[in-house]
Structure 1
Amino acid sequence: MNILVGAPNANFDIEKMEQKMVTHPGLTKEKLFFANQSISKADLKSIDILIGYDQKLLSAMLSDPDSNLKWIQSLSVGIDYYPLAEIKNRGVRLATVKGIHSEPIAETVTGMILNQFRNLSMITNLNRWEKPTNPFKILPNKTAVIYGTGAIGSRVAEILKVLNVNTIGINHSGHQAKFFDQTFTMDAVNDQIKNAEIIINSLPLMPATNKFFNQPYFEQFTRQPLFINVGRGGSVVTEDLINALNQHQLGGASLDVIDPEPFPSDSPLWKMDNVFISPHIASLFDQYGDQALDIFSKNLREYEYDGALLVNEVNLNR
């Protein structure tokens, strides 16, 4: 198998991934190519598998009728940045690394909540021995509404339950999920949601979630909740978020994803004391590459044996 490794984002260290791959015991028989190196047209045609993402090289492969591309191993859970229609039309398969993000993102969310409730950033920014004017809050008996009850949302809920937080899960069907006291559908509007102190978005971007968090959504809350987004920036109308903060419909926001990215430096969000912004890094951790390669290796072994992708294959027909 010929494998091409692309960089899915600016945070991706492709040279470090190369070091891991050339010594990985499950990849000793494969011929490896890397997007930061020179690749001939003949080599590009020969690629069987793309790991990660490179817009230019992927477009070239999908538009070439002689391309040998068979499947793509995403290095993320979100796949909205891939040309999914073209991938489907070419009969190329797609798998993700779903599952490895739940711990780092859940820990980031917990840190975001404690940062806001305990005024940690505000204290740091004062640069003097002075108590912030904002009230200090504790977590027991607070209510958190978590949009998305999959691996990430469930791990967030599990941690919050240890801290005696009431957890409400939101998913498409309203089905019950572990670590959630209650679950509701996406269109649910009730007092339990309206009175929540914490709102967390961990949903992927799809038609049903695009611009879901907008002015009518923010207007429903009664307790000025903290809004956290570790899902996708496109699920939130940024101007409506700014207005909700200015009108005190929200008590604060912690945003690891935002629309657009990179986020412009002249946005008023940067100057708000009750807003924390990080550059789409909540999922990163020191063993990311190792765990992603382990998933890929399992898929590769099975694919070479009987053509199956056992771990996290995406259903492109939905």
Structure 2
Amino acid sequence: MKILFTMPIPNDLKERQQEQFPDHTYEYIENLASYQGIDKVDCIVSYGSDITDSIIEEAKRLRWLMVFSAGIEELPHAKLQEKSILVTNVRGIHAIPMAEFTMGFMLSHVKRLASFASKQTKNDWERDPQIGELAEKTIIVVGTGAIGSQIAQFAKAFQMKTIGINTSGENIAPFDEAVSIEEIQTVLPEGDFIVSVLPETSATKSFYKKAHFEAMKKSTVFINIGRGSAISEEVLMDIASNQTIAHLYLDVSPIEPLPKNHPLWNFTNVTITPHVSAHSPKYLYRSFDIWLENVARFQKEEPLLNMINLNRGY
């Protein structure tokens, strides 16, 4: 195969790949739009955002698209299906960094770390009577895949009760219990922390309504590390301005990057981070573990890991 990478790859990973699969031809570029020779490529490895209808149309020999991200909403689904191109991703590699990020938000919240950081700028020794614990709190994780399950595993180490939300309502370890997404309203009043790990699909866009937040306790904390499109700007502004719940921790937002003049920046009950919960120095190394396993499977005509159902959207 001729394999085209559209992102920088460390030399040690290039060498590992060459040693393991010396019969393939590898090319590394950073600008797919200006690349000459796309018609001779059998496989593209990309983050996904540079793949367009015209690229797929011009790539006459393309059989496989490997996406080094979990989200595939930017891909030209119809064109990929029309050309019967295999699509795989690196689902699962984000579990540890995103779960750690979530625990960081929750620990910071109960231990009042932002408050103490603010006090330090004023040389203020005043203690905070609102310091709490995670132990015996209830966390509801909306999405029980690799990321959600890792969050639940970490939460169990802090002696939290874990409730999972998924499409079937089927319980899986390490959750204490699970309900279907249609029944989410029945458990929202129990949650001290609600964590959204929803992907972006037609069913999840603007999924969270005002009524969902009104069903939560006033003290509830909502954390979104999935996709910003799961909550509309209108709902976010309403919840923040009316202080419907205690706090919104948003690593993702409906508009990215969030404009500098957007009012969400100014709420004291909203914490914004720039879509970084999955960032890790191990990102490409974990991606290559899946990629190289899939190359071996592809050569042996075995089922590939993380095959994407383009109709379903994940």
Deviation, structure 1 residue 225: 1.0
Contact 2:213–2:244 at 8 Å: present in 1 too?
yes
Deviation, structure 1 residue 176: 0.8
- Show the counterpart of 2:286: 291
Aligned mate of 2:55, from 61, 66, 70? 61
For the residues of structure 2 that align with 1:97 and 1:201, how far apart are their CA atoms? 19
Query: Does 2:192 correspond to 1:197?
Result: yes
Deviation, structure 1 residue 36: 2.0
Structure 1's unaligned 5+ residue stretches are 7-13
C-alpha spacing 1:128/1:33, structure 2 compared with 1 (3 Å): same
Contact 1:144–1:167 at 8 Å: present in 2 too?
yes
The range that moved more, 293-302 or 115-124, is 115-124
Query: Does 2:3 correspond to 1:3?
Result: yes
Query: Does 2:111 correspond to 1:118?
Result: yes
Structure 2's unaligned 5+ residue stretches are none
Aligned mate of 1:264, from 259, 277, 302? 259
Aligned mate of 1:29, from 15, 23, 26? 23
Deviation, structure 1 residue 143: 1.1
Give the secondary-structure state (helix, strand or coil) at the position aligned to 1:158. helix
Aligned mate of 1:70, from 57, 63, 67? 63
The range that moved more, 132-141 or 103-112, is 132-141
1:33-112 equivalence runs, <5 A: 33-36=27-30, 43-53=37-47, 55=49, 58-64=52-58, 67-112=60-105
Deviation, structure 1 residue 175: 0.5
Q: Pairwise CA RMSD of aligned residues? A: 2.2
Contact 1:51–1:73 at 8 Å: present in 2 too?
yes
Aligned mate of 1:165, from 157, 160, 165? 160
For the residues of structure 1 that align with 2:34 and 2:61, how far apart are their CA atoms? 14
1:7-22 equivalence runs, <5 A: 14-15=7-8, 17-22=9-14
For the residues of structure 1 that align with 2:201 and 2:234, how far apart are their CA atoms? 20
For the residues of structure 1 that align with 2:142 and 2:309, how far apart are their CA atoms? 22
Aligned mate of 1:179, from 174, 182, 195? 174
- Using the size of structure 1 for normalisation, the TM-score is 0.89
Which amino acid in the other structure matches residue 81 of structure 1? Answer: E
Give the secondary-structure state (helix, strand or coil) at the position aligned to 1:36. coil
For the residues of structure 2 that align with 1:39 and 1:205, how far apart are their CA atoms? 25
1:131-164 Cα offsets, whole Å, 9 max, x none, are 4768222111211111011111111011111111
1:101-250 equivalence runs, <5 A: 101-126=94-119, 127-130=121-124, 131=126, 135-189=130-184, 192-250=187-245
Contact 1:256–1:277 at 8 Å: present in 2 too?
yes
For the residues of structure 2 that align with 1:251 and 1:225, how far apart are their CA atoms? 5
For the residues of structure 1 that align with 2:181 and 2:48, how far apart are their CA atoms? 33
Structure 1 segments (4+ residues) deviating >6 Å: 38-41
Contact 1:300–1:309 at 8 Å: present in 2 too?
no
Deviation, structure 1 residue 242: 2.1
Contact 1:143–1:166 at 8 Å: present in 2 too?
yes
Deviation, structure 1 residue 222: 2.5
Aligned mate of 1:302, from 294, 297, 305? 297
- Show the counterpart of 1:11: none
Give the secondary-structure state (helix, strand or coil) at the position aligned to 1:161. helix
Contact 2:165–2:184 at 8 Å: present in 1 too?
no
Deviation, structure 1 residue 234: 0.7
Which amino acid in the other structure matches residue 161 of structure 1? Answer: K
- Percent of pairs with identical residues: 27
C-alpha spacing 1:170/1:40, structure 2 compared with 1 (3 Å): closer
For the residues of structure 2 that align with 1:114 and 1:291, how far apart are their CA atoms? 27
1:70-107 Cα offsets, whole Å, 9 max, x none, are 11111111111211121111111100111111111101
